[in-house]
Amino acid sequence: MKKFLSGNEAFAEGIRLARPAIISAYPITPQTIVVERLSEMVECGSLRSEFIHVESEHSALSCAMGASAAGVRAFTATSSQGLLYMAECLYYASGGRFPIVMMNANRSTALPWNIYGDQRDSISQLDSGWIQAYAENAQESLDLALMSYYIAEKTSTPFMVNLDGFVLTHTYEEVDIPDEEQADKFLPPYETDNKLDLDDPKNMAFSAGPDYNYIFKFKEHQALLNAKKIIKKAEKDFAEIFGRKYSGLIENYKTEDAEFILITIGSIAGLCRKTVDKLRAEGRKVGVVRLRYLRPFPTAELVGSVKNAKAVGVPEKDISFGNEGTVFTNVNSALFQGKIAIPSYNFIGGLGGKNISHEDIENIFDLIENGAERVNFIGIEVE
């Protein structure tokens, strides 16, 4: 069935099809629409979940962990300050190997206060042990909502799906909504041994001293690396059932013969592709790589896409103060691992929702072709 939906609404449709038993969430702009739609679905009976009105984001994820430890599928959603407020629970959920799914509406973090989109909230939590995906459009948001449970549950790893605040969460597009039978075929009910069980009692979320702690952490790391394979399998199964194909950890656009490539995440990729089309028409060999996942990081895939390029640029809505953009750091690590010794440039922009224009992207292509500072700030001219 086709419907005109915003990113938030499309995501809510995906969650409806995933049938979590428990939804615990606390409102924060621009996440609110997804929990409002889910509440409506629970009210009208199209979703048989219990919606728990928790008193904070910390409680939202703590409650979801309780539900997951009780052996059921759980969902929460947040954004920005809320994500930071629940940060303790992010590490707890991954360490406990609870396959919870969370939607994060990417938004700037205070101070100064700002409700608009950048990606500093989720990128600050890259080390928390969650799989992190970044959707580009409403259809992908819905599909990721379904696929995230498949991947989370097969890797016993929590999954954060990021949607650019407003630009994606509040923008309407035509979305194909799968029917429930198809969704059930793709995503069977959740089964786990990682649960409290009256017939087989467990002690859970325990301490582990120096003799064992590192083993738990190593296994957690292995599970995230293993997610690369599971993601491929999920997309293969998804394509067979729903007919929509995804390209794994990254999505290449005209990179095959490209000399100059932009590497980016989220909804800005569309703008980059349009710019590539324009520049290609002018005879320039340019391309775009969209990182669909930041964790696990697509090192090998990225290396494969940029190995013949002359230079790359990383525009991102994030900065690690005192260093550079974190996506850029990760990209450089991949280049180094792939022994690709080409110039790479970072373009920090879009912080606090500042618009990034077609001209900005064109300018970035000019800069990486002609050489620039290592780290550049879009739209800032220091006198």
Partner 1 sequence: MKPYLREKTSFSFAEVPSDTSFEAGYLVSKNAGWRSIRPVIDIEKCVGCMQCYLYCPDGVISIENNKAVIDYDFCKGCGICKKICKINAIEMEAEKK
Partner 2 sequence: MSVTANNLCRDEFFYGHKACAGCGGSLAVRNALKVLGKNAVAVLPAGCMSAVGFNFPQLCFANNAIISTFAGTASMLTGIEAGFRARGIKDFTAVGFAGDGGTADIGIQALSGAIDRNDNILYICYDNEAYMNTGIQKSGLTPFGAKTTTTPAGKNIHGNIRPKKNMFEIAAAHNIPYAATATVGYMTDFLNKVEKASKIKGTKYIHVIAPCPTGWGIPVSDTVEISREIVDCGLWYLAEYENGEFTLDHDPKEFTSVSDHLKKQGRFRHLTDEDIQIIIQSRDAKWEKIRRDWRK
- Residue 106's beta-bridge partner residues? 164
Distance between first and last Cα of the chain: 55
Nearer to partner 2, 82 or 117 (CB): 82
Question: What, of partner 1, partner 2, none, does residue 41 touch, CB below 5 to 8 Å by kind?
Answer: none
Least Å distance, CB 92 to partner 1, is 10
Q: Is 214 in the site for partner 2 (CB under 8 A)?
A: no
Picking from 80, 251, 85, the residue whose alpha carbon sits closest to that of residue 163 is 80
Picking from 5, 359, 370, 369, the residue whose alpha carbon sits closest to that of residue 378 is 359
**What 3-state DSSP class applies to 177?**
coil
Question: What, of partner 2, partner 1, none, does residue 97 touch, CB below 5 to 8 Å by kind?
Answer: partner 1
Instruction: Report CA 32 to chain centroid distance, whole Å.
Output: 18
Least Å distance, CB 209 to partner 2, is 6
Q: Is 56 in the site for partner 2 (CB under 8 A)?
A: yes
Selected binder of partner 2 within 4, 113, 172, 212 (CB under 8 A): 212
Q: For residues 110 and 79, what is the distance between their CA atoms, to the nearest angstrom?
A: 12
Q: Is 202 in the site for partner 2 (CB under 8 A)?
A: yes
Q: Which window, 170-178, 194-202, 226-234, 336-344, contacts partner 2 (CB under 8 A)?
A: 194-202
Beta strands per DSSP E along 292-337: 293-295, 311-316
Q: Is 21 in the site for partner 2 (CB under 8 A)?
A: yes
Q: For residues 97 and 204, what is the distance between their CA atoms, to the nearest angstrom?
A: 11
Selected binder of partner 2 within 5, 18, 22, 163 (CB under 8 A): 22
Q: Which window, 52-60, 137-145, 166-174, 278-286, contacts partner 2 (CB under 8 A)?
A: 52-60
Least Å distance, CB 212 to partner 2, is 6
Structure tokens at 203: 């002690």
Q: For residues 129 and 30, what is the distance between their CA atoms, to the nearest angstrom?
A: 24
- Give the Cβ contact number of residue 30 at 10 Å: 25
Alpha helices in 54-117 (DSSP H): 57-69, 80-85, 87-95
Instruction: Report CA 126 to chain centroid distance, whole Å.
Output: 10
Structure tokens at 306: 């940029």
Q: Which window, 37-45, 153-161, 203-211, 249-257, contacts partner 2 (CB under 8 A)?
A: 203-211
Q: Is 209 in the site for partner 2 (CB under 8 A)?
A: yes
Q: For residues 147 and 324, what is the distance between their CA atoms, to the nearest angstrom?
A: 32
Q: Is 207 in the site for partner 2 (CB under 8 A)?
A: yes
Question: What, of partner 1, partner 2, none, does residue 66 touch, CB below 5 to 8 Å by kind?
Answer: partner 2
Q: Which window, 65-73, 137-145, 158-166, 319-327, contacts partner 2 (CB under 8 A)?
A: 65-73
Q: Is 375 in the site for partner 2 (CB under 8 A)?
A: no
Q: Is 78 in the site for partner 2 (CB under 8 A)?
A: no
Least Å distance, CB 199 to partner 1, is 11
DSSP single-letter state for residue 55 = S
Least Å distance, CB 193 to partner 1, is 7
Pairing between β-strand 2-6 and β-strand 172-176 as defined by DSSP bridges: antiparallel
Q: For residues 354 and 369, what is the distance between their CA atoms, to the nearest angstrom?
A: 25
Q: For residues 379 and 363, what is the distance between their CA atoms, to the nearest angstrom?
A: 11
Residue 27 makes CB contacts below 8 A (sequence gap 6+) with 35
Length of the chain: 383
Give 63: exposed, middle or buried? Use CB within 10 Å, 0-12, 13-18, 19+: buried
Nearer to partner 2, 181 or 200 (CB): 200
Binding pattern to partner 2, positions 154-193, x when CB under 8 A?
A: ----------------------------------------
Residues of this chain that bind partner 1 (CB under 8 A): 95-97, 156, 193-195, 200-206, 208, 212, 215-216, 219-220, 223
Nearer to partner 2, 54 or 375 (CB): 54
Nearer to partner 1, 46 or 213 (CB): 213
Q: Is 50 in the site for partner 2 (CB under 8 A)?
A: yes
Q: What does the binding site for partner 2 look like in residue numbers (CB under 8 A)?
A: 21-22, 24, 50, 52-56, 58-60, 62-72, 74, 88-89, 92, 196-198, 201-209, 212
